[in-house]
Structure 1
Amino acid sequence: METPDGAVRLMRELDWNLLRTFVVLGQSRSITEAAHRLRLTQPSVSTALKRLEDRVGRRLIDRKPGHFELTKAGQVLYREAVDIQGSILRLSTQMREMTDEVTGHVRIALASHVICPLFDAVLSEFHAEHPKATLSIDVLSSSEAVESVSGRFSSFAVCLVNRRNPNLEYMRIYREFFGLFCGPPHPLFGRENLTREDLAGHSAVSFDTDRLQDALKPVAVMRAEANMEDLIVGTSGHLEEVRRMIIAGLGIGPLPVHVTKRDVQDGVMWQLPPYDTPPAIDVHVVWNPKASLNRAEQSFLDRLLKRIEATPMEDRTYR
């Protein structure tokens, strides 16, 4: 167990860059992947990990062929390092607010498929009330969006939720329904009175999260019930790219029904069964209650949450 003197020595000698490297290691599946994300060589990352393990006196990652996992000590250090990183990243914003007239920057992590009139209305109202506030919207996969909020990179996220992090807060912003679609080159395009059996054996394209253990589990079940080919020939974390592959005829793919309405009307996409029982997917606002928000961030989040609470669920359900 670390002695008080040892703790002081650790605080004095620990290099922040080692912790930054470890955060990326904790979010990666291998040292090679972490090195790629950090734009460093693999030996450099391995050396940094060994130095950190030497500093803290604990093995932090169990690594062997086919296995790469944080130890219990590594999990503890990862949680603390994420908090430290988030605090450091926010220092410049907080200092700027104290020394000039900037009202604050809001950084929103958004899943690529988020089409929500309620959110757009709040965005417009916020800008009208705080014209000097600045915003940036990062389009990420839902898991990356949650990580961004957990690490305090983002003010909040709007995304799908699979497993809830007990350190974060969640509120459902809307519900959407997913259907299956194909593009003009597909043999089922334009055919009416199709049944689920007509989809059997056809290849698919989909989202990275279209798995039985992930956020789009209902979509994976819908595809399985249609006895479609197991092989998914194309995947992406972005709706625009899944849409591109569907229209190009690579395979049948899932998209939110309310998002595809224009494409169906324009004749570039065709909806397939099931028509009457499409799976429902909930989209949430996710925020970190431990994050120290600036005035602009707090104002935007408060406005959004109040608008959600004041809007009946049926008006936040897009069919």
Structure 2
Amino acid sequence: MQCPISLHLGYTSIRVSLEESVLKRLQPEPRLRDLRFAKNLDWNLLKLFNEIVEAHGITRAAALLNRKQPALSLALKRLEERLGVTLCRRGPTGFELTEEGRILADTCSVFAASVREIPARLSDIKAEVRGHLRVMLVSNLVAPALDQAIETFHQKYPAVELIVEVAAWTDVVNALIQHKVDVGISPSRVMRAELSYLPLFTEVHRPYCGRSHPMFGVEASGPSDLASESFVLTGADEGDELTEFRLQHGLGRHVAGMSNHLEEAKRLAMLGVGICFLPEGYAKPDVDSGRLWPLLAGDGVPRTGIYVVTDPNSPAQISRELFITEIREELKSAA
């Protein structure tokens, strides 16, 4: 039979152990505690403390900062209360840091030095970013936001070599999936789940004819007016929206010419070979000079969304991310 005293001591030991366990669970984990401290701390107090330390006292720091001495004293007191320690002593011998104060002063000194290096480090990034940026796009895009982004990107990161290729939109997507290019700019038939799409602009397509064509100077009342005319088709460069529009209205049943290169298809249209659908922005200079004529006005024409396409699963590349950032900034400015 156990002694009552032994049983009581055993019970007390178990109770104390349970209490310690509960208290330990109630205390925040060190990492969580540190995160809360950093989030709730007024960082300006650290800056003022660093100024006081560098000035060897509150009075001189107040004069250098053009601040009132009581305001700095109050800031120092707030910091000490937040940390739960005394950081310095002020008396007949002058300003003196405590051991805790010296530890914090060393930390603030490193922090202040890092802050002072920010401008230099940001300017040095121009020299640090190097390598290649491979961009593949569909031909003859007229996209001011893209042009401005390329110009700004080169000015900021001149050491990056820009490699630009032109291809049909299907080839652009395939090249991205195979990681042959870093950025693709093209229309998209289907939004693939593994790719990321940033809308760049909407490309408007209209039918145009050259000066020697019988319909030059005539404004058609609708697509049906053009159904009996001969067309120059753009083959693989033709987007789905344009193909559906042509088939819906019976356009292109009579083919006078074809080219997978948009500039050559435009040449045939300018020479009067046939009517050709062209991007409005691309045709504008020739319309303004009188070499091409738009046969359909208004909104009832095909429109194609053009996207900046990237593959998030491709190897990380800082030049690609910086280039996308420039495009986003240009789109934001144009909005």
| Fold match (TM-score > 0.5) | yes
1:154 is aligned to 181
**3-state SS of 1:263 partner:** helix
Return the TM-score normalized by structure 2: 0.57
Q: Distance in 2 between matches of 1:287 and 1:237?
A: 25
Q: Distance in 1 between matches of 2:128 and 2:222?
A: 61
| Amino acid in the other structure paired with 1:220 | T
| Amino acid in the other structure paired with 1:261 | K
2:132 is aligned to 105
Change (3 A) 1:311 1:282: farther
1:137 is aligned to 164
2:286 is aligned to 263
| Amino acid in the other structure paired with 2:215 | L
Task: Give unmatched runs, 5+ long, in structure 2.
Answer: 1-126
1:279 is aligned to 302
Task: Give unmatched runs, 5+ long, in structure 1.
Answer: 1-99
Q: Distance in 2 between matches of 1:103 and 1:255?
A: 37
2:197 is aligned to 170
1:20 is aligned to none
Q: Distance in 2 between matches of 1:166 and 1:175?
A: 21
Matching residue within 311, 316, 333 for 1:288 = 311
Once the two structures are overlaid, the 10-residue window that deviates more, 245-254 or 101-110, is: 101-110
Q: Distance in 1 between matches of 2:128 and 2:252?
A: 58
- Provide runs of 4+ in structure 1 moved above 4 Å: 192-195
2:244 is equivalent to residue 217 of structure 1: no
2:274 is equivalent to residue 247 of structure 1: no
Aligned-residue identity in percent: 27
Q: Distance in 1 between matches of 2:220 and 2:258?
A: 28
| Amino acid in the other structure paired with 1:172 | P
Deviation at 1:106, TM superposition (A): 0.6
1:41 is aligned to none
What are the within-5 Å matches in structure 2 for residues 1-319 of structure 1?
103-192=130-219, 195-209=222-236, 216-308=239-331, 310-311=332-333, 315=335
Deviation at 1:265, TM superposition (A): 1.3
| Amino acid in the other structure paired with 1:222 | F
Q: Distance in 1 between matches of 2:248 and 2:216?
A: 20
Task: Give per-residue Cα distances to partners, 1:109-163, cap 9 Å, x unaligned.
Answer: 0110311000111111111101111101101111111111111111111111112
Report if aligned partners of 1:104, 1:294 keep a CA contact under 8 Å in 2. no
Deviation at 1:167, TM superposition (A): 1.7
Larger CA Rg, structure 1 vs 2: 2
Q: Distance in 1 between matches of 2:196 and 2:268?
A: 34
| Amino acid in the other structure paired with 1:109 | M
Return the TM-score normalized by structure 1: 0.59
Q: Distance in 2 between matches of 1:107 and 1:244?
A: 29
Change (3 A) 1:166 1:178: same
Change (3 A) 1:257 1:167: same
User: Larger % of helix: which?
Assistant: 2
- How many corresponding residue pairs? 209
